[in-house]
Structure 1
Amino acid sequence: MSRLADQPVAEEGHVLRRDFKFLSSFAFAFAFISPIVALYGIFGLALTTAGPSFWWGFLIVFAGQMLVALVFAMLVSRWPLEGSIYQWSSRLLGPAFGWFAGWAYIWTLVIAMATVALGAAGFIANIAGIEEPSGTDRAWIAFVILLLGTAVNLAGHTVLKVFMIASIVAEVIGSVGLGLWLIIFHRVNDFSVLFEGRAGTGTEVDYLAISGPFLVALAFIGFSFVGFESAGSIAEEVKEPRTNLPKAILFSISFIAVIVMFTSLSIILAIPDLDAVASGEVGDPVYETLTTQLGEGIAVPLEILFVIGFLASFLALQTSASRLIWAAARDGALPAAKVLTRLSRTQRQPVGALLITTIIGTVLFLLSNVATDIYTLMVNFTAGGFYLSFLFPLIGFVVVLARNQWKPGVFSIGRATLPVAVVALIWATLQFINIAWPRAVYEQVYLDWSIIIGTAVIGVVGAAVYRSVRGAIPNVVGVEYRMLDESPVPEVRRR
């Protein structure tokens, strides 16, 4: 049975400006994991691990993630509230379950934000003429990116929307344009290479073993298709969210999948020497292929395109993290809740939450500069952290369906709901295990266990924080909300 509120949150002044429409929410989810970031981040790793045949992994991961996206689209159509995964999990299985979902997602977003900023710093350094930037150089550039990103977020929705939409235009033109040019004028490999492993070396390996090349490549590819859920992170800032957000989630993952798969295919077919890539002689096959086929003159424009993609992704990550922190603090679920729920007067931006992401990001930059292993730990945890966060609402949704307690929202897939939810949960579980599996990759054994170690540390610290705030967290299981002045207001009853 759904319940109504005793005290609407709107009376406390916690209402955001509803300025985003479908295109803006789609652009936000698209920018979160941009095609440029997704492609550049995993292409070289997957190609050297499994050879050109890794490309088929895109289809597998996309199919699994589309099932997850369908579940999230149903959840957001019923509960379009700021904080997405935290809100859905809380309403499905209770405050403790939802709190730990939000805690895992907060740290995933903040750590991903820091790693993306450091990634962008490397390209900016190259554009500025610093050929081999030191850790200190990258940390300082990343810090400037963090400050500028915070300023853009505080400036309000208009600036954010313009940047996001502009980044989509640049990335689509750049990715699709380069892909078409390569596949039409610079294809040197036959399509048959897509069925070759280890770049055609003929190495005999068990591709489906837990440490086999193909499953390792699937773990890398998993990073390419996350971020679609971020449209729900800004749900209370989107007009007609019950209809616009499900479309934004499904369209963004589909659009990104098409672009990433097409661009990857075009680069594979244009690589001059696949064996050189397999042997490790070519450290960056994307950059090497583009500069070889299109000339050295493409280097700077290409790096500028990379920077645009990374900056857009950084902004979306910081925005998502700040909204999630703000939403949790609004429920009293975080320490210093009054500070973290503070909104700017004119733009209604969560100032306190944005500043805390800036502080945490700065600390992570300092740590990465002191110890390179910290940066490796951050990068490794990011992909696993997303799938860990996904598991919370997926588990909650399957449990509620099994109890026959689910009430569909505007978006529904009818009788297919239960089988889709079950397969989505199985997929996310297997992919998390695949990503977190401690394969022997690094000289330092603890780096092979980085996702498991990171999860354990965040869990232990989270348990201590939760104990300090649990008395203030509302019980919102089965609770609906009503629209108040076009702003979704959670209807809660305190325990």
Structure 2
Amino acid sequence: MIFGRVKPLDAILATAEKKSLHRTLGWFQLMLFGIGCVIGTGIFVLTAAGAQKAGPGLMLAFAIAGAVCIIAALCYAEIASMIPVAGSAYTYSYASVGELLAWTVGWALIMEYAIAAAAVSVGWSGYFSGTFLNEILGVQLPAWLAAGPLVLGGAPGGLINLPALIIALLVTGLLIVGTSESAKVNAVLVLVKVTALTAFIALTFTSPDFDASHFNPFLPAGVFGGFGSGLGAVGAAATIFFAYVGFDAVSTAAEETKNPQRNVPIGLVGSLLFCTLFYILVAAGAIGTIGGQPIMGPNGVPFPTGSEELARQCATYAADQLPLVCSNEALAHVLRQIGWSSIGNLLGIAAFLALPSVILVLIYGQTRIFFVMARDGLLPESLSRVHPKFKTPHIVTMLTGGAVALGAAFFPVGKLADISNAGTLYAFTMVAVALLVLRRRDPSRRRAFRVPAAWLIAPLTIAGCVFLFLNLPYEAMLFLPGWGLLGIVIYFAYSRSRSHLGRGIVEVVDDVAGEQTMVPIEPPAG
């Protein structure tokens, strides 16, 4: 049977114990890990794009995306406390709905994390070139070195995005050195980022430019922009959902967490609540001071973000009158507009310093998915080798970092966020399905955290994810099944015949201890 290969939970936990990653992370580091990824892209990079889709309704969009993520986080928290191993939604699906669907989840997560990391690298490049080089040092980076040529649906680009390429490679090197060292750097970057955004909130809410009339009309494009349009408050929520993927990466760290049954749920839910509140406050401060109305087309519908039409409209404004929706450094731009140029530049520097923490968590999460899939035999097992000195999966980290660097060098940030979201929403949906299956199939297994009203929360998670997926632009919705079809071909051509579970064994090779253990299990049907 195609759907008959369900990996026993006892085998998953035994495998992780035989070949495990070093446990160094506590609940506070996990919260910082989540905050490090969640607070970043959506505020520093996607605020302008979200405002162009929803206007002041961007605040509602953050609330919608945050609500979907919080209920999904509850599902993650229960399963992560029950199965405290690396692999996230992939491992949870393997233990509930079987190998084929688990493969599709892992394949989607590989795409999600890699594209997201490339997109954030491009966003970082904008702050590096605009604030650090141009505003601070007075150096103008040549256009052909500041953007890639493959601008999807927008104006012509350059030749290569050199800063994005370099930052992706630097973060990859840090991750190879070690998780503990990476977490310490991440903690410093989170402090910089939260301090900068707190200052932004204080300055904008107390500014004489803050005017309630800027919020009217609150929903210029409506709540629903239309199926496949990506517009309106829900369309904006589907886009800025990209900024919430960090909490999912927290669950991938379960195997490197001390007392994961207690610390993983705290890290998941705590980081989400903190970040959602910050998102809404920062959006309110930005819109309240300089406004955030979208630039409308002749038919009364906002121009698409990243389009040539929007770029032409933005080019008609003087630099000191540029609307929020036209800025590549939205928050620094807001502070400059209200007379805080020096602090605006400092905030731009904060983004320049802090966004690498987002790239770090995304590449980290992607490599851990690769690591576990290789450990299960679904990908070449050489990918699961652990470095004898650094205790990190160095081979897969180098491969991932190289792919992210190439994507960042040649592609833009705009459409990539929506494409990444498609994979994320699929993974979240499957986690909710896994929760329901495990509640029924294995009700007596210890759960340090239990979702209250699971038979309500899990279906709400599924409905919320499907709802946001259907409000993505058409091209993002179509990319996921295309990527999934490629994954299915690889699964039946390579992975299915090499699966440890399919061969009736769980083979554990400990590269550090030099031990090999064959754990026999009952071969599944099919």
Q: What TM-score results when the alignment is normalised by the length of structure 1?
A: 0.84
The whole-number CA distance in structure 2 between the counterparts of 1:96 and 1:456 is 15
1:9 is matched with which residue?
Answer: 15
After TM superposition, give the deviation of residue 103 of structure 1 in Å. 0.8
CA contact (8 A) 1:473 1:494 kept: no
1:197 is matched with which residue?
Answer: 218
Q: Say which structure is richer in helix.
A: 1
> 1:424-476, CA deviations, whole angstroms, 9 ceiling, x for partnerless residues?
111111111112x42xxxxxxxxxx2x23321331122112211111333449
| Residue 207 of structure 2 corresponds to residue 185 of structure 1 | yes
Alignment of 1:271-420 (within 5 A): 271=290, 281=317, 282=323, 283-284=326-327, 285-334=330-379, 336-338=380-382, 340-365=383-408, 367-368=410-411, 377-401=415-439, 407=445, 409-414=447-452, 416-420=453-457
Closer/same/farther in 2, CA of residues 342 and 394 from structure 1, 3 Å limit: same
After TM superposition, give the deviation of residue 26 of structure 1 in Å. 1.4
After TM superposition, give the deviation of residue 288 of structure 1 in Å. 2.9
Closer/same/farther in 2, CA of residues 490 and 45 from structure 1, 3 Å limit: farther
Matched AA of 1:67: I
The whole-number CA distance in structure 2 between the counterparts of 1:221 and 1:494 is 44
The whole-number CA distance in structure 2 between the counterparts of 1:251 and 1:490 is 39
| Residue 65 of structure 2 corresponds to residue 84 of structure 1 | no
> 1:134-158, CA deviations, whole angstroms, 9 ceiling, x for partnerless residues?
4367532222212211221122133
The whole-number CA distance in structure 2 between the counterparts of 1:231 and 1:291 is 35
After TM superposition, give the deviation of residue 231 of structure 1 in Å. 0.9
After TM superposition, give the deviation of residue 292 of structure 1 in Å. 1.3
Q: What TM-score results when the alignment is normalised by the length of structure 2?
A: 0.79
The whole-number CA distance in structure 2 between the counterparts of 1:304 and 1:100 is 39
Closer/same/farther in 2, CA of residues 153 and 63 from structure 1, 3 Å limit: same
| Residue 57 of structure 2 corresponds to residue 20 of structure 1 | no
The whole-number CA distance in structure 1 between the counterparts of 2:292 and 2:519 is 58
The whole-number CA distance in structure 2 between the counterparts of 1:6 and 1:78 is 11
CA contact (8 A) 2:53 2:294 kept: no
CA contact (8 A) 2:60 2:233 kept: no
After TM superposition, give the deviation of residue 304 of structure 1 in Å. 1.3
CA contact (8 A) 2:204 2:210 kept: no
The whole-number CA distance in structure 1 between the counterparts of 2:199 and 2:477 is 40
Q: Which runs of 5+ in 2 are unaligned?
A: 1-6, 134-138, 149-157, 297-312, 318-322, 503-516
| Residue 197 of structure 2 corresponds to residue 175 of structure 1 | yes
After TM superposition, give the deviation of residue 58 of structure 1 in Å. 2.2
Closer/same/farther in 2, CA of residues 231 and 52 from structure 1, 3 Å limit: same
CA contact (8 A) 1:207 1:214 kept: yes
| 3-state SS of 2:253 partner | helix
CA contact (8 A) 1:187 1:270 kept: yes
The whole-number CA distance in structure 2 between the counterparts of 1:290 and 1:245 is 37
CA contact (8 A) 2:419 2:479 kept: yes
The whole-number CA distance in structure 2 between the counterparts of 1:23 and 1:144 is 30
2:521 is matched with which residue?
Answer: 493
1:422 is matched with which residue?
Answer: 459
CA contact (8 A) 1:121 1:138 kept: no
The whole-number CA distance in structure 1 between the counterparts of 2:377 and 2:522 is 11
> 1:335-378, CA deviations, whole angstroms, 9 ceiling, x for partnerless residues?
x212x11111122011111011023224424553xxx6xx6553
The whole-number CA distance in structure 1 between the counterparts of 2:9 and 2:204 is 58
1:149 is matched with which residue?
Answer: 171
After TM superposition, give the deviation of residue 125 of structure 1 in Å. 2.3
How many residues in Structure 1 have an aligned counterpart in Structure 2?
Answer: 458
Matched AA of 1:16: L
CA contact (8 A) 1:53 1:195 kept: no
Matched AA of 1:169: L
CA contact (8 A) 2:234 2:468 kept: no
1:139 is matched with which residue?
Answer: 161
After TM superposition, give the deviation of residue 188 of structure 1 in Å. 2.4
Matched AA of 1:130: Q
Closer/same/farther in 2, CA of residues 232 and 176 from structure 1, 3 Å limit: same
What is the root-mean-square deviation of aligned Cα atoms in Å?
Answer: 3.1
The whole-number CA distance in structure 2 between the counterparts of 1:404 and 1:17 is 28
Closer/same/farther in 2, CA of residues 490 and 107 from structure 1, 3 Å limit: farther
Which of the residues 211, 227, 234 maps onto 2:246? 227
Matched AA of 2:377: G
Alignment of 1:59-78 (within 5 A): 59-78=63-82
Which of the residues 258, 261, 267 maps onto 1:239? 258
| Residue 279 of structure 2 corresponds to residue 260 of structure 1 | yes
1:37 is matched with which residue?
Answer: 41
1:458 is matched with which residue?
Answer: 483
The whole-number CA distance in structure 1 between the counterparts of 2:410 and 2:252 is 28
Q: Which runs of 5+ in 1 are unaligned?
A: 439-448, 477-488
Matched AA of 1:261: I
CA contact (8 A) 2:25 2:257 kept: yes
Mean CA deviation greater in 146-155 or 280-289: 280-289
